[in-house]
Amino acid sequence: MEFFPKIPTIKYEGKKSKNPLSFKQYDADKVIAGKTMREHLKFSMAWWHTMIADGTDMFGVGTMDKKFGAVSDMDVSKNRISAAFELMQKLGIGYFCFHDKDLAPEGDDLASFHKNLDIVVPLVKAEMDKTGIKCLWGTANLFSNPRYMHGAGTSCDANIFAYAAAQIKKAIDITVYFGGDGYVFWGGREGYDTLLNTDMGLELDNLARLLTLSRDYGRRNGFKGCFYIEPKPKEPTKHQYDFDASTVLAFLRKYNLMSDFKLNIEANHATLSQHTFQHELVVARINDALGSIDANQGDPNLGWDTDQFPTNVYDTTLAMLEVLKAGGFTTGGLNFDAKCRRPSMTHEDLFLSFIAGMDSFAFGLKAADAIMKDGRICDFTKNRYSSYESGIGKKIVSGDTTLEELYDYALNLGEYNVKESGRQEYLEDIFNQVMLSAD
Ligand code: XUL
Ligand code: CO
């Protein structure tokens, strides 16, 4: 059965096309810097937003049909699978990401939830085998159910910690069964609303205990991919422990988890933490921890996680510049953790949203490659630090100096001041010039 009969397979038609159901920028087989655009971008569909989110918000019920003609919860889950693979095939999306709870109804307790998963998960795998579509990463939803009101790994109730562990065990099993390359921990409700009732030290130690147990279980049971933490500063709690990339890196170092964990950087989470998307990607990259990306964008005038499809090509260019500088994705990819706006309620809107996001990142890739090839910005930055390549600078970098030597050196400089301009506007102009002529 076809769920989107009016939608054809989406093809690349080039930038002059006015056909909304075509790619204007994303030419999957085009080779850029030695790899096809498909290989560079590794687009992924987020099961929760695409197959489930129906526009429900705090002020109103859903506006979109995400039941795909089925009535019982199990049938809805099954129809979503066929619809998901039809959508991914028509868009040429090679990967998907999922929470355990996205795939099957929760039932009355954990045992019935896992029984439901055992029925549905092989159906997903059969579609994967048939289509060649892969799993980018899996995760467990440890935030929706009321039992996680105080957190999961950071709950005050040890029974809830055990419950979270059980869900993670099953979600890792499913990820391994799918051959997934990643397993994500987004700290759903791992944070606090008030410090008056919170033992922050114990909560952070427990969070690390849960991650360590999960890492050890995964490694013992065939998970060879990468574990990721997805930073976010707030929402749903007032203060999320995985605040931003730097905070998460400090946590991973403190608890000796750096060798198994990298970061899954989400654009809208970056802006919620008062950083740019580029900033978070740079922090991840320079720490060899750029694992994967949740591609979306926020609204600069709103203070919450709007999870919009990415259309700002300036930001996608800056993001792809960081991905290229990091040497490209290995286990990770670009997961559209994005949902249609509530009034964009038709199935066609779903396709149009993905097309907009994929074209924006495809353009970003071409523009980033052009900026790398143009070389002026990278060269300028490199030359800006040339004083560290010889003389006293070289000694500072190699660790061959002392504070006493630097004292004498500085006194001998006499009246010295820097001679170099930062030339920000010149660089921004080059950026625009190269970006706007990218093809
Ligand atoms: C929440 C969020 C999640 C994670 C997976 O803000 O981004 O969808 O990506 O749990
Ligand atoms: Co996300």
Marked catalytic residue, from 40, 99, 114, 275: 99
Residue identifier of the C-alpha nearest atom 6 of ligand 1: 305
Beta-ladder partners of 12: 23
Tokens of 408: 């004498």
Q: Quick check: is 102 catalytic?
A: yes
Q: How many A from CA of 206 to the centre of ligand 2? A: 22
Whether residue 225 contacts residue 215, with contact meaning beta carbons closer than 8 Å, is answered with no
pLDDT of residue 7: 98
So what CATH class is 26-374?
Answer: alpha beta
- Kindly state the greatest CA–CA separation across the chain: 82
CB 88 within 8 A of CB 51: no
How many Cβ atoms sit within 10 Å of the Cβ of residue 235?
14
Query: In the structure, which protein residues have their CB atom closer than 6 angstroms to any atom of ligand 1?
Result: 99, 139, 184, 186, 230, 232, 266, 294, 305, 337
The C-alpha atoms of residue 138 and residue 291 are separated, in whole angstroms, by 14
Return the structure tokens found at 175.
């990820």
The first and second tokens of residue 96, run together, are: 């998907």
Calculate the alpha carbon distances from 341 to 63, 86, 95, 352 in Å.
10, 22, 23, 12
Q: Are 152 and 210 in contact (CB under 8 A)?
A: yes
203 CA to centre of ligand 2 in angstroms: 22
Using a CB cutoff of 5 Å, list residues around ligand 2, an ion: 266, 294, 337
Cα distance between residue 216 and residue 220, in whole Å: 6
Cα of 336 from ligand 2 centre, angstroms = 8
How far, in Å, is the centroid of ligand 1 from the Cα of 1?
A: 31
- The domain ranges of the chain are 26-374, 377-436
- What are the distances in angstroms from CA 236 to CA 159, 211, 240, 242, 368? 22, 20, 8, 12, 34
Half-sphere exposure of 351 (CA within 13 A, CB side): 26
Give the distance (Å) from ligand 2 centre to CA of residue 362.
20
**Whole-structure pTM over 0.95, yes or no?**
yes
CA distance 236 to 274: 17
Please, which residues have CB within 8 angstroms of residue 55's CB and are 6 or more apart in sequence?
A: 62, 63, 64, 340, 342, 345
**CA atoms within 13 A of residue 203's CA, in its CB half-sphere:** 21
Among the options 27, 100, 102, 307, which is catalytic? 102
Please give the Cα distance from 361 to 25 (Å, whole number). 9
In order along its 439 residues, the chain shows pLDDT tens digits of 899 999 999 999 999 999 999 999 999 999 999 999 999 999 999 999 999 999 999 999 999 999 999 999 999 999 999 999 999 999 999 999 999 999 999 999 999 999 999 999 999 999 999 999 999 999 999 999 999 999 999 999 999 999 999 999 999 999 999 999 999 999 999 999 999 999 999 999 999 999 999 999 999 999 999 999 999 999 999 999 999 999 999 999 999 999 999 999 999 999 999 999 999 999 999 999 999 999 999 999 999 999 999 999 999 999 999 999 999 999 999 999 999 999 999 999 999 999 999 999 999 999 999 999 999 999 999 999 999 999 999 999 999 999 999 999 999 999 999 999 999 999 999 999 999 999 8
Mutate to test the pocket of ligand 1, among 100, 235, 244, 266 (most ligand atoms within 8 A of CB): 266
Question: Which residue, by CA, sits nearest to atom 3 of ligand 1?
Answer: 186
Alpha carbon distance 238, 324 (integer Å):
34
**Mutate which of 99, 230, 297 to test ligand 1's pocket (most atoms within 8 Å of Cβ)?**
230
Beta pairing class for 11-12 and 182-186:
unpaired
**Catalytic residue list contains 100:** no
